[in-house]
Amino acid sequence: MIHRFSLRVYYEDTDLAGIVYYANYLRFIERARSEWVRGLGIDQGRLKSEEGIAFAVRRVEADFLRPAKFDDVLTVETRLGGVTGARIMLDQAVLRGNERLFQAGVTLVCLKDSGTPARLPADVRRSITASEN
């Protein structure tokens, strides 16, 4: 299943040339991931406060394909690439209409408050794997 998140490029997202500053693509896909997790019914605040765990980005492999510009309406697509006991792999893309501007493979890990790795809680893993259908 593909999760879609829409956003508009504001002036603050661009550089002097009027194109989206490269680091902002990471912000765009982070927002989309947060909405993807929320849409699965996973409350990240509750996970942190009650179970002492949080998701963190472990790895990002990104390709900048074409520039987005001021006032563009973009869609971030997020799809599950895989899940293990403590990792979530996602494929994310930023599109303007049907034109792919940016794509990334993102690996999330589950961490304890101490910063050490943790296994995904069983209910969280079930929610994530159910999104594949």
78-123 confidence digits (pLDDT tens):
999 999 988 999 999 999 999 999 999 999 999 998 989 999 988 8
- Contact partners, residue 25, CB within 8 Å, separation at least 6: 62, 64, 94, 102, 104
Name the residues annotated as catalytic. Answer: 15
> For residue 131, what pLDDT band results from cuts at 50, 70 and 90?
confident
Alpha helices in 1-133 (DSSP H): 22-39, 44-46, 122-130
- Contact partners, residue 87, CB within 8 Å, separation at least 6: 58, 107, 108, 109, 110
| 2-130 CATH | 3.10.129.10
Q: Are 92 and 29 a contacting pair, CB within 8 Å?
A: yes
> If we measure between CA atoms, which residue out of 29, 121, 126, 128 comes closest to residue 75?
29
Beta strands 73-83 and 99-112: pairing type? unpaired
Rounded to two decimals, the pTM is 0.91
> For residue 24, what pLDDT band results from cuts at 50, 70 and 90?
very high
Residue 67 pLDDT greater than 90, yes or no: yes
> For residue 133, what pLDDT band results from cuts at 50, 70 and 90?
low
Q: What is the pLDDT of residue 38?
A: 94
Domain coordinates in residue numbering, the chain: 2-130
